Amino acid sequence: MRAAVLVFPGSNCDRDMAVALKAAGAEVEMVWHKDADLPLGVDVVAVPGGFSFGDYLRCGAIAAQSPICKALVAHVERGGYALGVCNGFQVLTETGLLPGALMRNAGLKFVCKTIGLEVATSSSAFTEGYSAGDVLSIPVAHHDGNYVADDATLAKLRDQDRVAFHYTENPNGSTADIAGILSENRRVLGMMPHPERAVDAAHGGTDGQALFRTLVGQLENV
Amino acid sequence: MQEPAISPDLIAAHGLSPDEYDRILEIIGREPSFTELGIFSAMWNEHCSYKSSKKWLRTLPTDGPQVICGPGENAGVVDIGDGQAVVFKMESHNHPSYIEPYQGAATGVGGILRDVFTMGARPIAAMNALSFGEPDHPKTRQLVNGVVEGIGGYGNCFGVPNVGGEVRFHAAYNGNCLVNAFAAGLADADKIFYSAASGVGMPVVYLGAKTGRDGVGGATMASAEFDDTIEAKRPTVQVGDPFTEKRLMEATLELMQTGAVISIQDMGAAGLTCSAVEMGDKGNLGVRLNLNDVPVREDAMTAYEMMLSESQERMLMVLKPELEAEAKAVFDKWDLDFAIVGETIAEDRFIIMHDGEMKADLPLKALSGTAPEYDRPWVEAPQADSLGDIPEIDPIDGLKVLLSSPNYAAKQWVYEQYDHMVMADTARAPGFGSGIVRVHGTEKALAFTSDVTPRYVKANPFEGGKQAVAEAYRNLTAVGATPLATTDNLNFGNPEKPEIMGQFVGAIKGIGEAVAALDMPIVSGNVSLYNETDGKGILPTPTIGAVGLLANEAEMICDTVRDGHVALLIGDTTGHLGQSALLAEVFNREDGDAPHVDLDAEKRNGDFIRANRDLIKACTDLADGGLALAAFELAEEAGVGVQLDAADTPTLFGEDQARYLIACNFDQAEALMINAAQVGVPVTSVGRFTGDSVKIGNSEAPLAELSQLFRTSFAVAVA
């Protein structure tokens, strides 16, 4: 399975994402934001956490306009997989690949801690390794993770079983405790918590491992 | 623009004394130009020249087999084996943070990160030691919120985990808060970059952000006391841009790989002036700059403003001319400014050209080499008051007072605003003793701590200086690490007062003795003087930042306490209550002498902990709050209750040094006692971890109730 990790000048979880994907058995290539094309044969594009362009404007807004994001959109339109974590989730909403927006945390402060994350659906290449209702320990670290969408979108997300994760204790004010959502074809996952920070017993626990292993396993068999 | 004429008022406004001005006249043999006066003031202020402290700093032990580079460069460099080095330093940003807390603290973090990556190291850990005024002082809340947010705003975006530090409150900081920022980075030991220029006619290259008018005169501001005109000093505070800093770091490290860099110096205090002089001085060369080539973001900047600007996220380098194109390509990739602004010259001159005019022509060596140096008069600190009677207190009541003070309550309100997990190598999060970060891709890990007990230093500067080092040594030891080296951030009041200078001298002597005895040489540091407002000085606060090495994961003491574990106390207890947290928090008294530090005992007990790591489940050092607070913290972290046998105040709350509290099972306790007896280390069984309450003597409270107090008091006090 081949994964591409996008690198914006302010990405700072790109290495962590690559480490987690490699540990799960993926071949990983880092792709610079100025590139117009993804490497050939990429199965999944990972958009990592960080502060892509400083995020002085809306988080992810400038990144969404970069050449590589046009290639990302084309990849998804072709039915490719994508995973956006934290700033990556923000970028995915800004590109329109996922609905809704991430606003400033309700508490107005940056929040970094390990939280309880409830798996809301096991029906996706990302979450098949879990059972719905499982509660994982996964770190969050963000200033703008407050998920907001209009009622129609929320209803659609619910009806189509596209909420991937809920917070057990909402750290940022997200509507309906939503921590991660899937695209309509279930091949794009955006989530604020950092599963790549939970793939190693000595750092943050191992509850994120199954996400990467399942994803790699699923795509190996395609 | 018409430049102002040189007058006694103008000289004084530049923080130069009449004597110092006479010295300038002597050196250059004529009246300086306005730009030249600015350059001298930038080089000769306390912040840049260390003129009051140099004499004493020289006495500190700075060497050892582990030291690759001691003080004098941007940061210290220490060998961690396998061809790798840790590069670290701590630096204050006190004055700017008080004036503009968010930007002051943010640029403090930016400055220290730059110091580290300028040496060729990728930052892997940060800490911040913060001192604020009383929680109910009208300025405190705003300062705490602004400083913490500024540190988070910068470090989180840059992407370095913040793994430790301190936060304290005391009335002595009402008019001057302290923000001491630490950063450590990782480099190959044979690929360290230094500031000494070499070769004549080499291009001097400006990299990074553009120059603006922010921070003009910042270093001079930071070398003065405050009074009620302080608000007018806001324009001297710089504005941080962590996104640019992140790109500057990536571009700098990438550029270093190309082999193009001959020497490099970041632009920190006194910006272009200080960095250019530093590179020339260390390389025995002159420097000529043409300011028309400096990238600027404001119109009509004068030579004076450009030379004194402290705009952030800038670097100066001397590059190999044949690799200029490669170098420029790297900076183009990261969309950063790259401009050749001058060259090295053979003559010992610092020449500044602007609009075809020579704005300064000064002897370069003399700018730093002949900076004034003072042997300030000092008086030995008076003997501490004797300790008055201390009323008996119910131990649980005493503990509750400590837990509800923001000084001793849990600090998660602070560190949850810092990304402490980015880079995914944080093996021990902040909050309790040392933070630990793994050395990526190896078995090794590094432990970080920052410590000082200002009350002790005030009562007894010599013992207080020793204690700051000893506590850092213990915090590293308690996680199983071997202490490597130290950085010192010395915050004091006005050195022109002999009693303040006496505190400084005493503390330095104590620190020197302790780092020698504990083999933790000082490899970098910073001095911040004039921390006074309206003549009132801060508590003397020599913050010690220390780094320890863990050869592999097995060396780490990081199991949790379990129900049934024995509580063992290592070290001698005499019940020293002078200057204790209990006295300060419960009785609002700061009397008595500071505890004395027996460095032999520190070494012996520390070595014992390391030698017996395998027998220890969890460990913490005893410091403020003594046995009672240490036992509570160990228990609380694990969610297990604790019973202590002792009931008397001195045993429970005394702050004798060289002590640790250990949790282990019964068999391990027995083995530890046997091993301790062989090497003459005192061990006492003091109780047990069990149940769901904290029981001290005959007094008891539910753990949940105390935990709630401990976890919420900080936010209640300042949020």
Q: Domain residues of chain A, as ranges?
A: 2-220
Widest distance between CA atoms in chain B: 84
Model confidence at B31: pLDDT above 80: yes
pLDDT in tens, B180-211: 999 999 999 999 999 999 999 999 999 999 99
What ipTM describes this predicted complex? Answer: 0.96
State whether B425 and A203 contact (CB < 8 Å): yes
- Residue B126, sorted as left (phi over 0), alpha (psi -120 to 50) or beta, turns out to be beta
The one catalytic residue in B14, B47, B420, B565 is B47
B480, B557 in Cβ contact below 8 A?
Answer: yes
Q: Over the stretch B487-496, which tens digit does the pLDDT of each residue have?
A: 999 999 999 9
Q: How confident is the model at residue B2 (pLDDT cuts 50, 70, 90)?
A: confident
Percent of chain B predicted with pLDDT > 70: 97
**Residue B66 pLDDT:** 97
Which residue is listed with tokens 């078995």? B443
CA A140 to chain CA centroid, nearest Å: 12
Instruction: Provide the pLDDT for residue A203.
Output: 85
Which of B157, B162, B336, B415 to mutate to test binding with chain A, by most A CBs within 10 Å of its CB? B157
Is A196 an interface residue toward B (CB < 8 Å)? yes
pLDDT for the residue B222: 63
pLDDT tens digits, residue range A97-111?
999 999 999 999 999
Per-residue pLDDT at B47: 80
pLDDT confidence tier of residue B218, bands split at 50, 70 and 90: low
Q: Is A41 helix (H, G, I), strand (E, B) or coil?
A: coil
Residue B220, pLDDT > 70, answer no
Chosen for mutation from A55, A112, A144 (greatest number of chain B CBs closer than 10 Å) is: A112
Which tokens in the block code for residue A110? 């940056």
Closest residue in B to A205 (Cα) is B427
A81: pLDDT confidence band, cut at 50, 70 and 90?
very high
Name residue A29's beta-bridge partners: A4
pLDDT of residue B370: 82
Confidence of residue B235 (pLDDT cuts 50, 70, 90): low
> Under an 8 Å CB criterion, which residues of B touch A?
149, 152-153, 156-159, 241-244, 246-247, 250, 333-335, 412, 415-427, 438, 553
User: What dotted CATH number matches A2-220?
Assistant: 3.40.50.880
Give the least confident one: A168-177, B130-139, B225-234, B535-544.
B225-234
- At residue B385, the pLDDT reads 85
The pLDDT confidence band at residue B4, using thresholds 50, 70 and 90, is confident
The predicted pLDDT at position B69 comes to 97
> Residues B63-87: pLDDT tens digits?
999 999 999 999 999 999 999 999 9
Closest CA to B158 of A51, A108, A34: A51
Model confidence at B216, in pLDDT bands (50, 70, 90)? confident
Write down the pLDDT at residue B157: 97
- What was the pLDDT predicted at B45? 85
Show Cβ contacts of residue B42 under 8 Å, excluding neighbours closer than 6 positions.
B48, B219, B220, B269, B270, B271, B273, B274, B307, B308
For residue B215, the model assigns a pLDDT of 75
Q: Do A203 and B438 touch (CB under 8 A)?
A: yes
Size of interface A-B (CB pairs under 8 A): 93
State both tokens at B22: 């006479």
Which residues are registered as beta bridge partners of B526? B489
Pairing of strands B482-491, B683-689: unpaired
For B126-160, how does the pLDDT look when each residue is reduced to its tens digit (9 = 90+)? Answer: 999 999 999 999 999 999 999 999 999 999 999 99
pLDDT tens figures, B641-679: 999 999 999 999 999 999 999 999 999 999 999 999 999
Return the pLDDT at B46: 83
Under an 8 A CB cutoff, do B156 and A141 touch?
Answer: yes
A33 in active site: no
- pLDDT, tens digit (0-9, with 9 covering 90-100), for B430-471: 988 999 999 999 999 999 999 999 999 999 999 999 999 999
**In terms of DSSP H, where are the helices of B226-318?**
242-257, 271-282, 303-308
Look-up of token digits 């509290």: B661
Q: What residues form DSSP beta bridges with B42?
A: none
Closest CA to B151 of B108, B113, B115: B108
What mean pLDDT is predicted for residues B412-418?
97
**Mutation to test the A interface, candidates B109, B244, B312, B421, most A Cβ within 10 Å:** B421
pTM of the entire predicted model: 0.96
Active site residue B14: no
Instruction: Compute chain B's Rg from CA coordinates.
Output: 26
In chain B, what residues touch A55 (CB-CB under 8 Å)? 157, 243
- B217 and B302 Cβ atoms separated by less than 8 Å: no
Average pLDDT, chain B: 94
DSSP assignment letter at B707: H
Q: Is A200 on the interface with B (CB under 8 A)?
A: yes
Return d(Cα A154, Cα A167) in angstroms, integer.
16
Half-sphere exposure of B181 (CA within 13 A, CB side): 29
Are residues A51 and B157, on separate chains, in Cβ contact within 8 Å? Answer: yes
DSSP A195: G
Structure tokens, B641: 């209750």
Q: How far apart are CA B232 and CA B174, in angstroms?
A: 19
Q: Which residues of chain A from 59 to 118 reach within 8 Å of chain B, CB to CB?
A: 109-113
Kind and range of the H or E run holding A190: strand A188-191
What confidence tens digit (pLDDT) does each residue in B236-270 have?
Answer: 678 899 999 999 999 999 999 999 999 999 998 78
| Secondary structure element (H or E) that encloses residue B227, with its range | none
Question: Do the strands A81-85 and A188-191 form a parallel or antiparallel pair, or are they unpaired?
Answer: parallel
Q: Which of B248-252, B283-287, B368-372, B692-696 has the lowest mean pLDDT?
A: B368-372
Which pLDDT does position B234 carry in this prediction? 63
Residue of B nearest to A196 (CA): B424
Residue B229's pLDDT is 64
Please report which confidence band the pLDDT of residue B372 belongs to, taking 50, 70 and 90 as the band edges.
Answer: confident
| B469 closest CA partner among B428, B508, B502, B505 | B508
Q: Is the pLDDT of residue B212 over 70?
A: yes
Distance CA A89, CA A83 (A): 8
CB contact under 8 A, B422 and A141: yes
- Out of A110, A112, A199, whose CB is closest to B421? A112
